[in-house]
Structure 1
Amino acid sequence: MTNMKASTRALSLIEAFEGLNFDAYPDPGSGAQPWTIGYGHTRGVRHGDRATPRQIVGYLQMDIANAEHNVNRYVSVDITQNQFDALIDFVFNLGAGNFSTSTLLKKLNAGDIEGAASEFPRWVHSGGKVMSGLVSRRHAEQSLFMRPQNSPSPAINWTDVAIDITRKEHG
């Protein structure tokens, strides 16, 4: 497999489902740790933290790069950009550990694309409860995963992302 990069389709999923928060907030599933900031960033975040647009862009770049590394590391078959982008959002949300041991990955690496796609809806629980936001997110990932690759997916333009976040901070 080649060293793929996330496109704007992955970024759109992340932005839509994570939401943008300049102030740290507790995990929605448990109401406790981990504390989260920006678009779902958790590493080193503490209660009371506030992020600048520049920090949020940095966190997002780091977290997407981490997801890219792990999808590229664990997927051993050729996949489309849409499939890669769906997996980026999945790993961004659930972590590499969950992905690396998942039946979704096992089926994908066995060449069972439809079987892999059927696994997305199984990942909708947080704190022992079905979360409607996770149901919607898994459906969006599954839909993107199964969508034919009809057009090229644009690369992420980090300058545009930074401008957009700055605009959102100021209103």
Structure 2
Amino acid sequence: MALKISQTGINLIKQFEGCQLKAYKCPAGVWTIGWGTTEPINGVKPHQGMVITQAQADSLLVNHLKAYEDAVNKLGTNFNQNQFDALVSFCYNLGTGIFKGNLLKAIKEEYWSNVASQMLLYNKARVNGALTELKGLTRRRQAESELFLKQCVKEDLELKKAAQLLYKRKVISVLGAWESMDNMKLEYVPGLLKNMGGIDRLVKDKIISDRLLWEYKQYNANHIRALIIKYSKLG
């Protein structure tokens, strides 16, 4: 099944492209506008003096990403979402014809660490005719490689359901802070415990058993996950 870039991938592209509503020349000397758009807009390539609106820039990014999504999907490899996002960002910056040679070989062999290493090599552009390493490209390649190798976290449906129940009961006010173990903010836990009636009540109701763990803030995301799920089952 064909994948589409996630918000994580879009955010990565935006982070490094930046948005310019007036056309400018990138370090490689190519006229660019919006979120790194170099393709023609209504048949007209970006050029000196061209100006667009923010809404046009955002729309151009979404519309132009499809060609890069297609290029990665056509590689015929079973990528996870992080790998797909990283490669779409990679070829959005370098062009859909970038998948060749040792990079393509590593992709076809699913030699993931080598794919990430190969990506790091594409950090140069021609400046005044000379192939030059650009710090911005080096940072981008590092970010893309790290995302490519980052393990996808499966959605924790049990935790998500429990958090949604507590949100409806107004025990928690920021749903996104508790639906995923990756997003949990430990500094919010004292407030969570207070909203649950405090440590004494939680011990009494047998939601927690190790009082000192919570009093001395020795808990981690796994402890908080168990707490939320158990508390959600209270009548």
Specify the alignment match of 1:5 in structure 2: 4
| 1:151 Cα deviation from its structure 2 partner | 4.3
User: How many Å separate the matches in 2 of 1:102 and 1:51?
Assistant: 37
User: How many Å separate the matches in 1 of 2:106 and 2:89?
Assistant: 18
Specify the alignment match of 1:79 in structure 2: 79
The more displaced of 39-48 and 52-61 is: 52-61
Q: Aligned partner of 2:79: which letter?
A: I
Runs of 4+ in structure 1 off by over 2 angstroms are none
Q: Aligned partner of 1:138: which letter?
A: R
Q: Is 1:36 aligned with 2:32? A: yes
- Structure with higher Rg: it is 2
Count of matched residue positions in the alignment of Structure 1 and Structure 2? 146
Q: Aligned partner of 2:13: which letter?
A: I
Specify the alignment match of 2:222 in structure 1: none
Q: Is 1:145 aligned with 2:145? A: no
Specify which structure has the bigger relative contact order, considering alpha-carbon pairs within 8 angstroms and separated by 6 or more residues.
Answer: 1
- TM-score normalised per structure 2: 0.60
- TM-score normalised per structure 1: 0.81
Match among 123, 132, 137 for residue 134 of structure 1: 137
User: How many Å separate the matches in 2 of 1:55 and 1:9?
Assistant: 21
After superposition, the CA RMSD in angstroms is 1.2
After TM superposition, the structure 1 = structure 2 runs for residues 81-160 of structure 1, keeping only pairs within 5 Å, are 81-99=81-99, 101-127=100-126, 128-151=131-154
State the SS of the aligned residue for 2:153.
Answer: coil
| 1:16 Cα deviation from its structure 2 partner | 0.5
Q: Is 1:68 aligned with 2:64? A: no
| 1:62 Cα deviation from its structure 2 partner | 2.0
| 1:105 Cα deviation from its structure 2 partner | 2.3
Change (3 A) 1:87 1:148: same
State the SS of the aligned residue for 2:49.
Answer: coil
